[in-house]
Every structure is written in structure tokens, then in C-alpha cells.
Structure 1
């Protein structure tokens, strides 16, 4: 459940980041668009202002020409000399740099008393062409050239058509005023797009044919281009074609578009705004794209900082919420697991206890009835079997708890693989063959001695083989085999296989076989009991040793369990293993002292009932006993005894006044001949490895777990078994 929640939250975070990324991209796009719109609006305002200023100036120039026309009507000039004198006077007192009159045949009379007939018109253009299409006035650019060089004077021409003005019988058709181009150019200075003294924008005036009238930066003239359409035709990338621009000119539209030339790092934004029908010109502003990017970069940096802060804040809050929810879910699952565990434990413990209490009741009721003696023996046998089941359940629960807490102790020490399999076979042969099942053992061992925890491996295999025995009917077979594969020069993988031809398992149960208290509901196995903890414990133990357990099974076809355990190869087999392999005895024999006959045993036990039972059993086996109720009494009894009087001490580890470990240390430190040789066995309900280590460290020789298995106790003391 927690894994699913983690996956869910991981997907949630990924989705959130994806959404934030999409929003960020959308935001950046909108930011760029907004900045672009803002700059275009700024350009529009500047262009409108400059256009209005220029238009007002042009209107004033035309007005001045009309006023000169009116004054000339009052002058009543009779000769051309008189007319030119008045032109010179108007030019002197007025704002025009030069003035001239144009006759009907195209002759030009200037304020400088110059006359230019049409046939010798080299200095001035044919002014009357500017009044084509019914125009009454015009404004245009005029460059005067010096022979052999470029333009030496750049001017703006203003002209109005004259309706009824004659001098010396000759009709005058137009009056022309001329000013230096700077008169308009000074009104088009752009300061807002200048950085480090470099202008990144310029403005210009063009006519409807695209000819530049005024270009403030003179950029076009430096490139020897004096026409907008010629400039655009050489663009590498342009949003509008020349034809589209011309159409917009004809419609007097206000518009803007981007274009760039080869070798230019940034695009240029051109903004066009027209004058009116009378002044058929366009005002242009051009701004380098770098201006947009710089402003975008500034806003983007600020926005990204705020966005990152916001994202980090949101993610931090999300992680806090996730962590809190995961803790809540874990706590809920832990509580649920604990409830399920307690519920299962209650069922597993109460069921055999019910039978145990019931049989004890029957025994007590019929204890004096000789006719029920056979039944009483059967009830006692069943009580004994039930008590063993309860002990097995308690041991499994303790193992399971420790394994789940990750506190399992794995002791890697040299072990003989063949001997381990032989021990399993020896312990299970009678059980299996007694059920009418064939038992086959196969070994393919290439490295006989490896490092491993023989006790834990035995626990796993006993569990698996024991289950195979329970679920394999008579007439079938069980095959226990071991094989090895070397992984490198120093390591080997050992595979223990248990294959049976029993009732098998369903596919559904295979997915739950390693769950705690998991047992398949099958009518073919009714009456077969188990704790439901054996396989989960085996799985956890195998994993703790770096190995694994896999299962293959099919209903009515049997099951195959494969236990794989990695190990380090032991090249030099220890002497005690060689002796064990030779004699076929277990390792416990190293810790046991064989006694040729009964000896006196000191029992240190604080629980009266336990002491009474143990003393009675030992007496029945022919041992002389003494009882100490705590560790202090045990030490005193041993100190006051004769040398060699006691041969064995059964020492409970948890007692009042002085515990078993402290008592053992004190006994070992006594100054007497048998203080080191006497055998001390720890007797405790604590079965964890640290308890064993603590007992051995205190000077004890061996370890017996409660409830004490009498057969094991007698075997350790050199007896063959109980009666």
C-alpha cells in the first residue's frame, strides 16, 4: 500500500512539474508577447508624436507659401526682376532657405535672380510633375549634386499650385520653398532605444513609392539604397512581401512587421504610420529585436526567480503533506496489520488452548476412573502434541517479529553442505516414509565447505520439507536435492530444491504464500494444521542471507521450492568439521560433555512450578539434585559444596537478587579446582542470538531454551533419552 502511495505521489510530483513547465512556457510566451505589444505601443506613441510634429511643420511650410502667394498678389510685380527681388526679400525674412517660382512652360525663377529654362534644367527637377494626379501641393526630398561627387546638399521641397498669378503677361503655375533636411530630421531623434551611445532604432519618412525622404541614421544611403522596396527585397526573412506592403500603402494602413538580412544577428521591427491624403507620406520607425530581448530577459529573470520561489514553496508544502500522509498511511497500515496480527494470533492460540484446556478437564474428571485409562493416555498424548504446536507458534511469532524488525542475526561460519543435507534427511526420513511417501536425496556439491548460517538454512529446509511431507499423499514422492554453481573463484551459489508430487497449490495462493498467517483453503488438506508463519519466516531468512526462495506449483501436480543461498567458498576445512563429517555427529557435540553415569545437578530456578517439574524429571532419570531460588543461592551452594560434588548447573538467566549471567561469572572466578570445569547450561525463554552470546560470554557452556525439551536436555547430559 505504501509503495502504491509512493508511486502515486511520485506521479503527482511529475504531473505537477509537467503542469508547471507548461504554464511556464505559456507564461514566457505571453510575457514575450506582452513585452512586444508594450514596445509596439511605445513605438506607436513615439511615431504618432513625431508624425504629428512633422505634419504640423509641413502644414506650416505650406501655409507660409500660401501667405507669400497672397503678398505677391499685393506686390503687383510688373517685371521678373521685381518679382525676384520680392522672392529674395521673402526668403530673407521668412523661414525658407530658398524660394522659386515656376512658369507655365516650366521655367524656374529663383530668389537668387537665377533663371532656368526647361531646356537647360540640370540643377532642378521638373517641378510640375509633382502636381500630377490633381495634387495642389507636395512635399518631397531634393538632393543637389556637385559634378564628380555625391550630394552636397540635402533639402526638403514644399510646393503649392498657383491659380491666378501673372508677371509681365506670363502665368506662374507654382511657388516652391526649400529647407535643409535637418529641419525635419531634428524632429525625429529617437533617444529611448539608445544604449551605450549606440542607436538600436531609427525613424524615416518615405513616399508612396517607397523612396526615402528623410532617414535619420542615413543607414539606407550608406548602403546605397534609397528605396524601401529595394531594401526589403534583399531580406533573408520578412513577414510581408513587397506587394503586401504596397497594398497597405495604397490603403493608408498602420501596420508593423519583422524582417532581417543575411549576417544580421537580430531581426528588425518596422512600424508604419501614414500621414493624411494631402501629405501622402509614411512615417517609419525601426527597432532592433535586441531591445525586446533585453526587456524580456529582465522581466523573465525576475519572473523566473519568483516562479522558482513559488515552485519550491509549493513543492516543499507538497512534500510536507506527502510525508505527513505517508506517515499517516503507514501508521494506519501498521495499526491495521497489528489488528490483523492480533486477530490471527488470537485465533491461532485460542484454538489449541481450547483443546488443551478441554483435554485437561477430561483428564481431571476421569483421573480416578480406571476404565478411562486408555482415554486418559490418548488425551495426554494429544495435550503433549498441542503444547508442542503452541511452542512452535510462539517461536515462529518471535522469529517473525525479529525478522520484520530487521534484527535477525545471521552467523556466517564454515559449514559442510553434504552434512547439512544429510541431517535434514535423517530428521525427516521417518516422518516421510512413515506416511507411505518415497523420499529421495540427491547431491551435486562441487564446494563441500562454505560459509553460512547452518542453523538458519536447516530451519528453512525443515520448514519446506516438513510441509512437503504434510501435503504429499501416500504413494507419491518427495525429492530433496542440492546443487552448486560457482559465480567466481571465491563465491558459489547453492541451490536447495524440494520437489514433491503432492496436492500442489492454486495460482491464486502462490501470490500469497509468503504472507503471514496465509493458508490455502482446500478440502484436500482439512485437518492439517500449521501456523501460517513458516513460509514468511523462511522467505525473510533467505533474503537476510542474500538469497531467495521461489515456488512453482500446480494443483494435483505437486510443488517445487528452490532456495538459493550465496556463499563464500572455504578452501581450508576446519579440523572440527572434518571430525564431525567423519563421525557423522552434529556440531552441538562440541559444547556437550558426556557423562558415564548420573551426577549431581544444581538447578537454579526462581519459578517454583518450573523447578518442581525439572527436579522431578531429573530424579526420575537417576540424577541427584539441589535447588537454588536465585543466582546468589546458586553461587553459595556451589562455593560450600565439595570439589567435584556438582557436575552440571542448570542456570536460569533471569532471577531475582542475582541473574544467571552474573552468577556464572562469579562461579568461574572462584578459587577452586572445579570452577572452570563444571558444565553450566543457560536455561531461558529468550531465544535471540544476543541472549546466546551473553550466556556464552558469561562463562556458560551451552544454551537451553524454555520450555526445556527433556530429550534434548538428557542428550546434552549424556543420556540417550527419556523413558
Structure 2
């Protein structure tokens, strides 16, 4: 039995040695071929880089020429002195020369005074043949006897005369810019045309100075005619690649790359094949290493039996752990699918049910409006669920990127209050945001993602806090340990149902929700907190949670945010202004006072409306009236309006400016205005907002433009809609025609381009463009419209209207030439507002 086992071991060893030997032979051949391909790829890459460098060099020259053409277009074609003055500063430009020609009079101006001369008919005819802008093929300058490259641009003088501007420079100067060398200066390059004509010759020592055509060089070396024709065809078709030919008594590799800014020009690099192959010889010489592998394989086989049992046991244990992990993941995903099914079916059931009810009560407008409102709310819930799932997918795949920009905390908090406050008010919950030590109001971060984090935290706080509870946000700024950053600590606390300790360990896991009847009564996929955690991690921050059942939860987010590129503007001090603050919340009152002191003011603080009336009356009796009184909307006994009326009675003919601060002033504007309250401030109050308000209401500065409700009248406007979905077509048509717009509808991008092209300039005021359409998508259609040769092609507003709703989709729409982006399902007020902005020239 042992002898049989030994024979099996020996046979296995021999088989292993044979496999290693055969593998070595295959390996050497494959390495030799792979190394050659890698080297050729490297030459192609260097050639492409050289091509890009030459393209950039030409692009910069063309750009400078265009700037000069724009300057000259402001001059009169007969004012030779002014033309030459515009060109004088270019007279010492690295051996290059400039001319400007008035094609109406055939007068040519140089860069030196007195160089104006008349062109002969042949010269004028040659220049008239050159249209637009571009590059002339290299020519022999009759004046200098030097091969020259010329950039040109046609333009119009101020008086309407046609002008021609040209920059000329010696080919040798251009050649120095792209003269590439490879493998210890054994390779070199040419710039050629698709016909093989050598346009620019490398300064390399091996560059042929005699031949004028690259194909002539190859053809005379006895190369295969079919390979030469294949090379010619590749150049004519604008391809990039490599070919091998016999040249100068040895094999050479020809790598060719088309230039981007000069259509029809190629950069061709030529490298001896022997140089490329030299690297493989070293590997062949070192093939003896593979003999060592044979011995090593024998040792491995001997050791294999010894460790076999141990490794097998470990493998089985690892497989068991993997199986348990897979089962746990499947269980979590099954739970997620169950939750998602419930949460999607719930609003879907509401939508279907409410639609049926609306149909039954079609003759009762009030009921139909209520049903439609419920349908809209359910639809919004569905969109939120789907967005959570898509966000999670993009974060886990690594495709989500942060879009940092300078953003004001005032803007962030204002939007946050407008979203959260109405929901909190419906549940009669106290909602307050407190600021501590805020010195930088503008920071650089991704406002969309930070807003997503805060809305998730606050929505959960409101959702899981019973009626009459409280939700509190504390935002504290402190010095950051990282340079050029500010440290923000955002603390979201609620008095809700809290969480069990065992669930807190999994709160940031995907697909997880606490097993609690109170939780099951609320919608959610179990993805919100996982998304929050991943976004915070992307922002290089931390998030922690502290919670106890029945006592509420506290989430703390710590972030180090970049300071804005432009520092916060320092507001000048406002001495001589007496301010009284009446606020029953001592923390809000303290923060407001700190900001006012930073503005050079010394406000007086009182905790109630009654105290505010007494304080104002006392100041008036001493002839030292307050200039401004800031009243909190939550004052009681009397309330803010009653306090304002009482102050007006006490202060007489010259009452102070009365302002009202609140998280939501809806429903009290008229009553407050009747009581003399001049303005409303949304909490939380920041220093900049206080300064702006004082300037407007005390110092008499004109208020900044506010975003008022825009008129929804689109009468006289003609809109072209490109949309392949019939229902979406009907919705957009009905909506916009109901506002007075005239609609033309097409079902694909190509039809949209054709409709616009056939219309007269100015016929359409705006294009609504879907992205995913048959025949031609919205991106390509937009690019073709922008490229049309007509006055309105580049300026007509084009608004993307698409279900592609991620940040990169917005960027793609703008990159294609669109002016804005609307995500489906459409938010109708947002769409109308965006259309008005674009039609009124404010949608840039």
C-alpha cells in the first residue's frame, strides 16, 4: 500500500515537472509577445501625448489669434494706424510674424508702422479662398525663403469690411515643440497628411530630409504593397494604430495618431523594432529561473501532504463562516424586500384607491381635490423610497461623488426649516435650531448631500416623536485640527420613542429596521441611516448615536469643512442703534445678542412681551427710544402681535421698527403687519441676516431682490417638446397650454433637431428635451442644435426633462449644452419657475 502511494507521489511529481517545463516555454513566448505589444502601446501613448502637446500649442496660437481678431473687429478697416497699434505688441513673438488684410481694399498691414501695402490680385484671391479660421498647410514663404506654417482667421471690421488675420512662424519652430524621441533617441516623428505628405519634419538626426512623402519612403524599401495600402487606408479613415515596415535596412515600427485640432494631420512616430525587442532578450537569458521552479514545485508537493489536513480543516471552517455570512445577508435582504414591498404597496394602494374614489366623486370638486392631494403625497413618498434605494446602490458601487462648493449656512438652514417645520407643526412638536460660536457662515461642502444627511436625521426625529414632543438641533463651530477648516458639531436630539441597545449596534447597517410595532407603523426601507453614515464617511466625518427606549435619541455629526475660497465678508459695526430683544427662549436670545454685539451693538434682553412693553415705555419716557425691537413669535401674555400694539401705544408718533422672528410666519402676516411689524425674520438668526435686516429696516437701504411668486402666464410663448412617452406628452402639453403657451410636440431627438432647423430664427422660445429617446437621445440632439449655423441655435434655452436624476446626470446635461435639468416625476412649481427663469434670461 505504501509502495503504491509512493508511485502515485512520483507520478504526480513527474507530471508537475512536465507542466512547469511546458508552462515555461509558453510563458517565454507569451511574455515576448506581450512585452512587444506593451512597448508599442507605450510608444503610441507617448505619441498621443506629443500629439496632444502639439494640438495644445496650435490651439493656444489660434486662441491668441482669435483674441487679436476680436480686438481688430472693433477698429475701422481704413484706420491703418489703429490696426497697427493693436498688432505692435506682437512684433517680438518668437520669430513669428503677423499680417492683417482688409479684403475690401486688399491693404495688408504688418506689425511695424509703415508696412501697409497693396496685395496683388493673385495674393488677394488666395486669401479670399480661406474661410472662417484654420491652419494653412506648410508653404515656402516667398519673402523669407523659409518653410512656414500659417494660422488664419476671417473677421469683420467695425465698418463691415471683411478682414483677414494671419500668424506665420517657421516650421523649425513648430518642429521643436513636438520633436519626440524614444528608446535612447533611436526613434523620431513626422507630421503627415492622410496622403502621406510630410508636413512637419522632426529635427531628429535620423529624420529623412530628402523624401516629401512617407509612403514613398516605405514603398522603396521593398515592403508588402498590401500592408502599405492598409496603412494608407488607416490614415484616410482617421484611425490610431501601429504598423511594421522595412526601412533603412531594418524593421521599424510606425505608430500613428490623428490630431484633434487639425483634422487630416497625423503624428507618426518611427522606432527600430530591434530596440523594442532588446528587452525580451534579457528575459530569455534569465529563463534558468524556471528550473528553480521545478525544484520548488517538488518541495511544495512534499510539503503539501503535511499541511493538507490542517489547511483542509481551515478551509472548511472558512466555508462555514462564509455560508453563515451569506445566510445572514440573505436574511437581511429578505427582510429589506419585505419592508420595501410593504412600504411601496402602501402608497401604491393609496394612489389606486384614491384614484377610484376620485372617479366615483368626479362631480364633487372638494372631494376630488382632497383625493388628488393624497395621491400627490403618496407619489412623493414613492419617489423618496426609490431615491433611497438608488442612492444606496450608487454609494456602494463607488459612483457617488461629492460636489463641494462655497455654501452659506443661512441658505442650508433656511431650506431645512422650510422642509421640516410644516411636518413638526402638524404634530404640534417644538422645533428649534440653536447656534453656538458660529464665526464662519460660508463654508465649502456638498450642500445636497449635507442637506440629505440632516433631512434624514430630522425626518426620523419628527417621525418617531409623538405629538407634543420636541426636536432640537444644536450647531456648534470650534477650531479644527486640520488646516484651513472649521469644525462643525451638529447635534440632533428628540424626545421620541428611542431605541433598544441591541439595535444601536446595527442602526447604520443596510436594510435594517428595529423590530417594534411603533416602527412598523411608519414608512421606511431601512436604508436612510445607512445612506447617512456613508455620506458622512465620504465627507471624512463621524456620526454617533445615543438613545434609550422611551427617552428619545441624540445623533451627533462631526465634520471638518473647508473654509470658503472667499472669506466671509466682515460686516461693519453699527454703533448708535438701540435694540430690544423680546424672546422667551433664553438660548435663542443669547445667540441673537452675541451676533448683535459682534456688529458693535449692545442689545437689551427681556423674556416676555409684558417686559418688552415696560422697557419700551421707560425708554420713551426718558427720551431714549429704541430704534428697533425684535419680537419672538412665540411670546405669550401678551403674544407678539399684542406686544407690538402695546408698544405702539406707548411710544407715540415715532415708534421703533418692529420685527418678528419665527420658524414659520404663515397665517400671521396680515395681523402682524396691521400691528406695525415691518419685517419677518426666519429662525435661526445668523449675523449676516441680522445685519441685512437692520440695514433694510433702520438704515433705509434697499432690500435685496427676493424670490416672489412668478406669474404663470406663458401667453405668446412657443415651446418645442421632445418626449417619447405619450402620457408625459399629454401632461406637459395640457399644463403649458393651460398657461397660454403654444406647444409643438415631437417624439425623438432627431425630429426635434429637424423641427428646430426648419423653423425660422426666433420661432421657438424654449425647448423641453427628454434624454432617453429612440432614434436620437436628448444629449446628441442638444449638441446638434447647438452646432447649427443660425443665430438662435446657441442661445435658445434647452431644459432637460428626464428620469436620470443623479448629480452626474445634471452635469452631463450641462456638458451637452443644456441650460437646466428637471428630474421626473416633475415638480410642477419647480418646472414653471425654471421655465420663467430661462425665458427671462436668468437661468444661467
User: Structure 1-normalised TM-score?
Assistant: 0.50
Report matched runs for 1:169-180 at 5 Å. none
Does the residue aligned with 2:402 lie in a helix, a strand or coil?
A: coil
Q: Distance in 2 between matches of 1:543 and 1:393?
A: 22
Residue 434 of structure 2: aligned partner: 442
Which of these residues, 349, 352, 357, is aligned with residue 344 of structure 2?
Answer: 349
Query: Post-superposition shift, 1:611?
Result: 0.8
Q: Distance in 2 between matches of 1:358 and 1:511?
A: 39
Does the residue aligned with 1:513 lie in a helix, a strand or coil?
A: coil
Report matched runs for 1:318-717 at 5 Å. 335-364=330-359, 366-367=360-361, 370=363, 374-444=366-436, 445-485=438-478, 486-520=480-514, 522=516, 527-573=521-567, 598=715, 599-717=717-835
Q: 1:595, 1:717 within 8 Å by CA — same for their partners in 2?
A: no
Question: Could you say if the C-alpha distance between residues 618 and 359 of structure 1 is closer, same or farther in structure 2, counting changes exceeding 3 Å?
Answer: same
Q: 2:431, 2:470 within 8 Å by CA — same for their partners in 1?
A: yes
The superposition leaves residues 622-671 of structure 1 with CA deviations (integer Å, 9 ceiling, x where unpaired) of: 32221110001111111222322322221111101100000010111112
Query: Post-superposition shift, 1:305?
Result: 9.8
Bigger-Rg structure (1/2): 1
Q: 1:664, 1:680 within 8 Å by CA — same for their partners in 2?
A: yes
Does the residue aligned with 2:775 lie in a helix, a strand or coil?
A: coil
Question: Could you say if the C-alpha distance between residues 404 and 373 of structure 1 is closer, same or farther in structure 2, counting changes exceeding 3 Å?
Answer: same
Report matched runs for 1:210-289 at 5 Å. none
Q: Distance in 1 between matches of 2:481 and 2:452?
A: 25
Query: Post-superposition shift, 1:549?
Result: 2.0
Does the residue aligned with 1:635 lie in a helix, a strand or coil?
A: helix
The superposition leaves residues 462-521 of structure 1 with CA deviations (integer Å, 9 ceiling, x where unpaired) of: 111122222334443322221223113323332222122333333343333334444445
Q: 2:719, 2:743 within 8 Å by CA — same for their partners in 1?
A: yes
Q: Distance in 1 between matches of 2:307 and 2:719?
A: 73
Q: 1:449, 1:571 within 8 Å by CA — same for their partners in 2?
A: no
Question: Could you say if the C-alpha distance between residues 604 and 457 of structure 1 is closer, same or farther in structure 2, counting changes exceeding 3 Å?
Answer: same
Q: Distance in 2 between matches of 1:493 and 1:387?
A: 38
Residue 292 of structure 1: aligned partner: none
Q: Distance in 2 between matches of 1:319 and 1:507?
A: 34
Q: 1:468, 1:502 within 8 Å by CA — same for their partners in 2?
A: yes
Question: Could you say if the C-alpha distance between residues 310 and 491 of structure 1 is closer, same or farther in structure 2, counting changes exceeding 3 Å?
Answer: farther
Q: 1:436, 1:475 within 8 Å by CA — same for their partners in 2?
A: yes
The superposition leaves residues 195-222 of structure 1 with CA deviations (integer Å, 9 ceiling, x where unpaired) of: xxxxxxxxxxxxxxxxxxxxxxxxxxxx
Does the residue aligned with 2:765 lie in a helix, a strand or coil?
A: strand
Q: 1:552, 1:559 within 8 Å by CA — same for their partners in 2?
A: yes
Q: 2:332, 2:511 within 8 Å by CA — same for their partners in 1?
A: no
The superposition leaves residues 413-448 of structure 1 with CA deviations (integer Å, 9 ceiling, x where unpaired) of: 322234322321233233323432222222232333
Q: Distance in 1 between matches of 2:348 and 2:300?
A: 69
- Structure 1: which 5+ residue stretches go unaligned? 1-303
Question: Could you say if the C-alpha distance between residues 702 and 383 of structure 1 is closer, same or farther in structure 2, counting changes exceeding 3 Å?
Answer: same
Query: Post-superposition shift, 1:311?
Result: 5.9
Q: 1:418, 1:443 within 8 Å by CA — same for their partners in 2?
A: no
Q: Distance in 1 between matches of 2:525 and 2:335?
A: 14
Does the residue aligned with 1:512 lie in a helix, a strand or coil?
A: coil
RMSD over equivalenced CA pairs, Å: 3.8
User: Structure 2-normalised TM-score?
Assistant: 0.44
Report matched runs for 1:74-93 at 5 Å. none
Does the residue aligned with 1:718 lie in a helix, a strand or coil?
A: helix
Does the residue aligned with 1:618 lie in a helix, a strand or coil?
A: helix
Q: Distance in 1 between matches of 2:483 and 2:553?
A: 33
Q: Distance in 1 between matches of 2:451 and 2:763?
A: 38
Q: 2:333, 2:511 within 8 Å by CA — same for their partners in 1?
A: no
Q: 1:651, 1:682 within 8 Å by CA — same for their partners in 2?
A: yes
Q: Distance in 1 between matches of 2:485 and 2:346?
A: 47
The superposition leaves residues 692-712 of structure 1 with CA deviations (integer Å, 9 ceiling, x where unpaired) of: 222121111221111111121
Question: Could you say if the C-alpha distance between residues 516 and 334 of structure 1 is closer, same or farther in structure 2, counting changes exceeding 3 Å?
Answer: closer
Does the residue aligned with 2:719 lie in a helix, a strand or coil?
A: strand
Q: Distance in 2 between matches of 1:601 and 1:474?
A: 48
Question: Could you say if the C-alpha distance between residues 523 and 341 of structure 1 is closer, same or farther in structure 2, counting changes exceeding 3 Å?
Answer: closer
After TM superposition, the structure 1 stretch with the greater mean CA deviation from structure 2, 484-493 or 618-627, is: 484-493
Query: Post-superposition shift, 1:398?
Result: 0.8
Query: Post-superposition shift, 1:596?
Result: 8.6
Does the residue aligned with 2:836 lie in a helix, a strand or coil?
A: coil
Question: Could you say if the C-alpha distance between residues 669 and 469 of structure 1 is closer, same or farther in structure 2, counting changes exceeding 3 Å?
Answer: same
Does the residue aligned with 1:536 lie in a helix, a strand or coil?
A: helix
Q: Distance in 1 between matches of 2:719 and 2:410?
A: 37
Q: Distance in 1 between matches of 2:768 and 2:785?
A: 13
Residue 46 of structure 2: aligned partner: none
Q: 1:594, 1:716 within 8 Å by CA — same for their partners in 2?
A: no
Question: Could you say if the C-alpha distance between residues 567 and 719 of structure 1 is closer, same or farther in structure 2, counting changes exceeding 3 Å?
Answer: closer
Query: Post-superposition shift, 1:609?
Result: 0.9
Does the residue aligned with 2:475 lie in a helix, a strand or coil?
A: strand
Q: Distance in 1 between matches of 2:347 and 2:334?
A: 20
Query: Post-superposition shift, 1:342?
Result: 3.0
Query: Post-superposition shift, 1:681?
Result: 1.6
